[in-house]
Amino acid sequence: MPSRDPPPTILCADQPHPRKATDVSASETQAALYARVTEDLLDETAIRAAVNADECGALVMFHGIVRDHDGGKGVAALDYQAHPDAERFLRECVAEAASRTGLRLAAAHRVGALKIGDAALVAAASAPHRAEAFAAIEELVERIKAEVPIWKRQHFADGISEWVGL
């Protein structure tokens, strides 16, 4: 089961410096850093709310959707499995990217059995202007795919299954 420990620091675009987790309320912690690995449907409203801010003129969301093909083969479904510390790795990716960019970032990744059209990854970034938000979301998604220990098994239409990301 993914870890539910709070992050050691809270990073917000509207604060000049990170604060200790003990210096903020639980609601501020959730708004400041949203990173989840879950078997449940991804809560796009919560992800958007985690990054939404009055000073931001751009809010960009990425939805990684299960598609019906890969490498010229038909895909019937996917199974995602995660290392027990996957949520901690995801939280670190979000926190480090937020710290580096100074922007509000959030992400959630689904695990378990997913069907065609399901959202597997939702990430969001908000910034004063769109260029920064688009750049941050691209960097965050690439980093999540490279660093978070989540693997998928593709079930092809011909009955063959294949693990990806091991």
Name all domains of the chain by residue range, CATH numbers in brackets: 9-164 (3.90.1170.40)
Tell me the percentage of the chain whose pLDDT exceeds 70. 81
Give CA–CA dist 65/76, Å, rounded: 13
Specify the pLDDT at position 32: 58
Provide the mean pLDDT of the chain. 85
Looking at 10-19, 44-53, 89-98, 142-151, which range is the least confident one?
A: 10-19
Give CA–CA dist 158/89, Å, rounded: 34
Looking at 14-18, 32-36, 56-60, 139-143, which range is the least confident one?
A: 14-18
Cα 22 from chain centroid (whole Å): 24
How many other CB atoms sit within 10 Å of the CB of residue 53? 17
pTM: 0.80
